Amino acid sequence: MVFAEQHNGKIHPVTFELLSKGRELADRKEVELSSVILGHQIREEAKELIYYGADKVFIFDHPTLKEFDSILYKQNIVSLIREEKPEIVLIGATHLGRSLAPRIAAALNTGLTADCIDLQLDEDGELIQVRPAFTGNILAYIKTKTKPVMTTVRYKVFKARERDPMRKGEIIEKEVKVVEDTGTKILGKIPREAVNISDAGVVVAGGRGLRRPDDLKMLEELASLLGGVVGVSRPLVDEGWASKDRQVGFSGNIVKPKLYVAVGISGSPQHLAGMKDSEIVVAINVDPSAPIFNVADYGVVGDLYEVIPKPIEKIKLRKMKL
């Protein structure tokens, strides 16, 4: 069973990735793949889940489910799991998924493996959950004894299959359990700077080689000329120079852009875990022995303050000529 995450009726793409992996697992186990979606006026979206591989979709549609409420979501999903008894439950390791999955697992008294980067089946058809351990230095292969096996999976580790609008499946409306007071009340929403570095085609990322927070502006200029966004290594987030949603790496975001420019980043294993699958990596670093050069397609050994202004000038000139 795949949990379908949606925000204002828009399904989070991790859902399609999980449905694709779920389809593969279900076919090998010769079982059905189901999905569950909660929200308000989401019947159209439910069809999408079938197009991406679900055989059955359970819908909980109610005005109280318009916004994510961890308690309401949990209660409805827990009762569905008790009824349907899926063997495996897959949830995206997004902010929402990371809040929801442990609540469901605790209520069902079952295990949960968080932040998986691969899922496999052993010869007996049991799920093996693969996740980094010890800050990404080793990969742990985990089997859960309790049922259902619950897993959160990182966004972008699996590829979504092609959408097939001809696929047929069953949509089942479930009665919503409404809890009067869940202890959570949404007072309002504060819009924040929205950056989605996971989906960006170009990421220009800065690290501790930068001297001042203001120097990120130089990277912003290069990123915007290249049609991309700025990412950062973790120390810059820890210092408060940039928000967490810009952090690339093991404890941040996984990115797979066409072009990744690492500026003053040493290339720690935790950073590489978030960007090593980028199509083209360009590294700029004063230290020729920096590990980032091991994954770089192009490397510039030099001071970023001398190197970065050059492509900025060149691209500007070229744009002026066009």
Alpha-carbon distance of 245 to 241, in angstroms, equals 12
- Note whether 266 binds ligand FAD by CB under 6 A: yes
Q: How far apart are CA 295 and CA 175, in angstroms?
A: 52
Which listed residue (36, 197, 230, 265) binds ligand FAD by CB under 6 A?
265
| Minimum separation from the CB atom of position 213 to ligand FAD (A) | 13
Residue 170: its H or E element:
strand 170-173
Which listed residue (209, 228, 231, 257) binds ligand FAD by CB under 6 A? 209
CB 204 within 8 A of CB 91: no
Span from 24-32, 82-90, 125-133, 247-255 in contact with ligand FAD (CB under 6 A):
247-255
* Token representation of residue 52: 């991406």
248-to-152, 153, 253, 265 alpha-carbon distances in Å: 19, 17, 5, 11
In angstroms and rounded to an integer, the radius of gyration of the C-alpha atoms of the chain is 22
> Contact with ligand FAD (CB under 6 A): which of 208, 220, 241, 311?
208
Binding mask 26-45 for ligand FAD (x = CB under 6 A): --------------------
The interface region with ligand FAD, picked from 11-19, 33-41, 194-202, 203-211 by CB under 6 A, is 203-211
Region near ligand FAD per CB under 6 A, out of 13-21, 171-179, 265-273, 313-321: 265-273
Secondary structure of residue 118 in the 3-state scheme: strand
d(CA 253, CA 231): 9
Tokens of 250: 């093991």
Binding mask 79-118 for ligand FAD (x = CB under 6 A): ----------------------------------------
- Does residue 231 touch ligand FAD according to CB under 6 A? no
For residue 261, give both structure tokens.
Answer: 């420019």
Which residues of the chain form contacts with ligand FAD (CB under 6 A)? 135, 207-209, 233-235, 247-252, 264-266, 268, 270-271, 274, 284-287, 290, 303-305
